[in-house]
Amino acid sequence: NETITIKGKQFFILKIIGRGGSSKVYQVLDHKKQLFAVKYVDLEEADAQTVESYKNEIQHLNHLQLYSDQIIKLYDYEITNSYIYMLMECGNLDLNTWLRNRKTVNPLDRKFYWRNMLEAVHTIHNHGIIHSDLKPANFVIVNGSLKLIDFGIANRLQPDVTSIMKDSQICKKGDVWSLGCILYCMTYGKTPFQSITNQIAKLHAIIDTSHPIEFPDISEKDLLDVLKSCLVRNPRERISLKELLDHPYLHHSP
């Protein structure tokens, strides 16, 4: 069956893991039967800005390999005018699928995965990257720990150059909100505004500081405090990533 050749090495396609607009992710084997993920991007229809955004994402992914184990391993890549191949480590499952398949998350997994997510996002923030679209599908489980697979740079609708560069500390707080939503989901089995089905009403609730987010009582008081601190609507008052890394939830058992 089908093979992919990257930098002269041949890989055998086992299955397609996912597909996006012009990208596909395959699970492949090399000649030593080692498992990898290959991301393929079709550049035929891509405009110069899109190609640039993909090259930017790859440069950052390549560089950040050195700084954290919670960033997916990029072993090699091949860029031509018509396609991109990225050879990466393969996760067993992405966090979105994992969360969908289970009703409850055990407190130890949740705490461990939270630590992994914080470390990954702290790493990209330290290099001036703000994801601004963090969701469970951006993380994969590799040998029991979570790894970030993309930085939200590729194919983002580029902020038009007129957008005034906001204070980056404030923008980083957007990623804290997103992480809080993921942790909320791992705690209560639903996202903070999931019960509001009308999209407009949901949007109003999200931005309405007088609309209270429900935090049903739980035994882990440290976890409850993390959730309430992340899901503060005013970014200035919201907890920072640095403070999250020092929070008792990460350091006190249970």
Ligand X SMILES: Cn1cc(Nc2nc(NC3CCCCC3)c3c(C#N)c[nH]c3n2)cn1
Choice from 37, 146, 154, 179 touching ligand X (CB under 6 A):
37
- 90: left (phi > 0), else alpha (psi -120 to 50), else beta? beta
Residues 83-122 within binding reach of ligand X (CB under 6 A): 88, 90-91, 93-94, 97
Choice from 46, 64, 72, 223 touching ligand X (CB under 6 A):
72
Query: Smaller CB distance to ligand X: residue 24 or 202?
Result: 24
205-237: burial string, b at 16+ Cβ within 10 Å, e else: beeeeeeebeeeeeebebbbebbebbbbeebee
Cβ distance 239 to 175 under 8 Å? no
Taking CB under 6 A as the rule, which mask of x and - marks residues 190-229 in contact with ligand X? ----------------------------------------
Q: Judge whether 94 counts as a catalytic residue.
A: no
Query: Smaller CB distance to ligand X: residue 97 or 240?
Result: 97
Whole-angstrom distance, CA of residue 41 vs CA of residue 79 = 9
Choice from 6, 140, 153, 183 touching ligand X (CB under 6 A):
140
Query: Smaller CB distance to ligand X: residue 74 or 230?
Result: 74
Residue count at the site for ligand X (CB under 6 A)?
Answer: 15
Choice from 46, 87, 148, 149 touching ligand X (CB under 6 A):
149
Beta bridge partners of 18: 25
Query: Smaller CB distance to ligand X: residue 142 or 239?
Result: 142
The answer to whether residue 25 forms part of the interface with ligand X (CB under 6 A) is yes
Q: What's the min distance (Å) between Cβ of 177 and ligand X? A: 22
List 133, 160, 167, 175, catalytic entry: 133
Closest-by-Cβ residue to ligand X is 18
Q: Tell me which residue of 37, 38, 39, 45 sits closest to 81, measured CA to CA.
A: 45
Query: Smaller CB distance to ligand X: residue 137 or 250?
Result: 137
Reported in sequence order, the residue ranges of the chain that DSSP labels E, i.e. its strands, are 3-6, 9-19, 23-29, 35-42, 74-79, 83-88, 93-94, 139-142, 145-148
Whole-angstrom distance, CA of residue 25 vs CA of residue 123 = 24
| Count of positions (residues) in the chain | 254
First-residue to last-residue Cα distance in the chain? 49
The answer to whether residue 137 forms part of the interface with ligand X (CB under 6 A) is yes
Preceding omega of 216 cis (within 30 degrees of 0): no
Q: Which residues bind ligand X (CB under 6 A)?
A: 17-18, 25, 37, 39, 72, 88, 90-91, 93-94, 97, 137, 140, 149
Q: Name the residues annotated as catalytic.
A: 133
